[in-house]
């Protein structure tokens, strides 16, 4: 009996996840960066699978300089962001595919967690916001 888990032992609350993210990105949060946790519906037709991965949205990278919009770049945040990705993956498991995205007005650049940890993105990439998808199969999430 001591090996049986309670039915909700693996549940993760979105507020706890947001607090975790804000703690590890405190330097960026102090610069008016915002973090939101959402659940997105994805259907894989070729596999017949529907899943709702948890998505961490990090936004607020835009500021104004001389009355023109300016964006933080990957080079400006990577020293804080790479250790965050490592801790996030250790605690919540980031999906293994290209699950970290840097969307912009014209396109979306996608990276694996290993590419982020190995600093593959170009330092001059302007960040509009960042999306990180967690592995749905690793943990169950509660709706908050």
Angle, helices 14-24 vs 74-92, to 10°: value is 140
Are 17 and 53 within 8 A, CB to CB?
A: no
Cα 14 from Cα 56, distance rounded (Å): 10
> Residue 135: its pLDDT value, please?
83
For the whole model, what pTM was predicted?
A: 0.77
Q: What is the pLDDT of residues 92-122, one digit of tens each?
A: 899 889 999 999 888 999 999 999 999 999 9
């Amino acid at each position: 009996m001591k090996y049986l888990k309670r039915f909700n032992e693996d549940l993760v609350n979105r507020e706890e996840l947001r607090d975790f993210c804000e703690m590890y990105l405190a330097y960026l949060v102090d610069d008016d960066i915002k973090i939101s946790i959402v659940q997105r519906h994805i259907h894989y037709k070729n596999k017949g699978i529907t899943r709702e991965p948890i998505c961490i949205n990090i936004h607020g990278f835009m500021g104004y300089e001389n009355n023109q919009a300016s964006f933080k770049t990957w080079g400006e945040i990577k020293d804080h962001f790479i250790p965050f990705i490592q801790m996030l993956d250790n605690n919540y498991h980031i999906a293994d595919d290209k699950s970290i995205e840097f969307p912009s007005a014209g396109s979306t650049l996608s990276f694996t967690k290993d590419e982020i940890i190995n600093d593959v993105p170009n330092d001059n990439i302007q960040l509009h916001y960042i999306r990180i998808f967690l592995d749905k199969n690793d943990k169950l999430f509660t709706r908050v």
